[in-house]
Structure 1
Amino acid sequence: MKAYSLDLRQKIIDTYLEGGISQRQLAERFKVALSFVQKILKQYRETGSIAPKIRIQQTPPKLNEEQLNVLKKIVEANNDATLAEIRILLEQKTGVLIGRSTVDRMLNRMEFTVKKKHCTRMKRKLKEFSH
């Protein structure tokens, strides 16, 4: 989601500093969340800045290099497996349980695709993997 513009942020601060309006009323007037108004006011009080914060540190990946290699081998050996099946196999081999969407992101980073035909037999296979 994009950050709110500096213009909007400045209007919120100016209106609040004029006085006579609550944070809740500010949020309603400018059609923003109350939590945003609280956050921008706190940031202004603490730093004097209303600019959006820049994300410096990225969230570290869920899997390390060794686990990614295991994931790659699983996909190569089970190229017809679904994301849910891959997830279970990865847990069995590494002890690390991640979500299906995380499996998908990791495979996309490694430029693997796992397009599947929709079939009810896959549900039975999933039960086999989970035991």
Structure 2
Amino acid sequence: MQPLSLDLRQRIINVHKQKTLSVRQIAKRFDVAKSCVQKLIKQYQETGNINPKPQGGNVSPKVQGEDLVTLVEIIENNNDATLEELCDLLKEKTKITISRATMGRISHNLDYTVKKRRDPAPL
């Protein structure tokens, strides 16, 4: 969802400054959520700024750069290790702790297949 345009934000603030309408009425007039008007007014009162705040962003991966190279080496040297064992080996070498699921995602993204358990399922 896109942030409100600066023009619309300014019109909402101008109507609020006139003190003729309640927050609920302003929201209805401009066809936006009441909480949106409340947050915009609060932001304006605290900072004097009506520009939209930055949205979202990605979390940087825990294993990257040289640590990723180390992980590839660990996977290639221990091709019969389970995901949990690979997590332990990575922690020993790089001091980075990751979950089994994260290890599975990383190995999948690197196109490596890894055993999921030590013993085969009983027959």
TM-score normalised by the chain length of structure 1: 0.49
Give the Cα–Cα distance (whole angstroms) in 2 for the partners of residues 102 and 30 of structure 1.
46
Aligned partner of 1:10 in structure 2 is 10
Going from structure 1 to structure 2, the CA distance change for 1:101 and 1:12 (only over 3 Å counts) comes to: farther
Q: Which moved more, 1:1-10 or 1:66-75?
A: 66-75
What SS does the corresponding residue of 2:98 show, helix, strand or coil? Answer: coil
Aligned partner of 1:91 in structure 2 is 87
Aligned partner of 2:111 in structure 1 is 114
Alignment of 1:28-67 (within 5 A): 29-32=30-33, 34=35, 36-53=36-53, 61-63=61-63, 65=65, 67=67
Aligned partner of 1:26 in structure 2 is 27
**CA displacement at 1:17 relative to structure 2:** 2.6
8 Å CA contact retained: 1:23, 1:38: no
What SS does the corresponding residue of 2:49 show, helix, strand or coil? Answer: coil
What SS does the corresponding residue of 1:128 show, helix, strand or coil? Answer: coil
Q: Which runs of 5+ in 1 are unaligned?
A: 80-84, 117-121
Larger Rg: 2
Aligned partner of 1:69 in structure 2 is 69
User: RMSD of aligned C-alpha atoms?
Assistant: 4.5
TM-score normalised by the chain length of structure 2: 0.51
8 Å CA contact retained: 1:74, 1:89: no
Q: Deviations over 1:19-53 (max 9, x none)?
A: 3222586279533471x333322221122110123
Q: Which has the higher helix share?
A: 1
Give the Cα–Cα distance (whole angstroms) in 2 for the partners of residues 65 and 99 of structure 1.
20
**CA displacement at 1:13 relative to structure 2:** 1.8
8 Å CA contact retained: 2:86, 2:103: no
Give the Cα–Cα distance (whole angstroms) in 2 for the partners of residues 42 and 101 of structure 1.
39
Aligned length: 110
Give the Cα–Cα distance (whole angstroms) in 2 for the partners of residues 77 and 26 of structure 1.
61
Q: Which runs of 5+ in 2 are unaligned?
A: none
